[in-house]
Amino acid sequence: MSWEIRYRASVEKDVSRLPAEIRDLVFDAILALSSDPLPTGCKKLKGLKNRFRLKIAKDYRVVYSIFKNERQIAIEFVGHRKDAYRWF
């Protein structure tokens, strides 16, 4: 059974600004989350309930939350790692 993926409003704009090769990796990683919300390499963010991050290439991150009862994943940030934790 797959999980529903939701996006924060700013994510679409953030993804469009990424280099093409990184954008492709991001799309693949997000698509894979719909079947496995805790893939190998994901890491729970300390002090933040149900929030995780995925490393994309060396310097990019996808930050997302998991809502188990609703079987939903909310993508909250996609971008360079230097900006990834600014709002969390």
Flag whether the pTM goes above 0.85: yes
Buried-state track 29-59, b at ≥16 Cβ within 10 A, e below 16: bbeebeeebeeeebeebeeeeebbbbebeee
For 7-61, the pLDDT digits (tens) are: 998 999 999 999 999 999 999 999 999 999 999 999 999 988 899 999 999 999 9
pLDDT of residue 1 exceeding 90? no
pLDDT of residue 88 exceeding 90? no
* Predicted pLDDT of residue 7: 94
Give domain limits for the chain.
4-84
* 4-84 to CATH, choices 3.20.20.100, 3.30.2310.20, 3.40.50.1010, 1.10.10.10: 3.30.2310.20
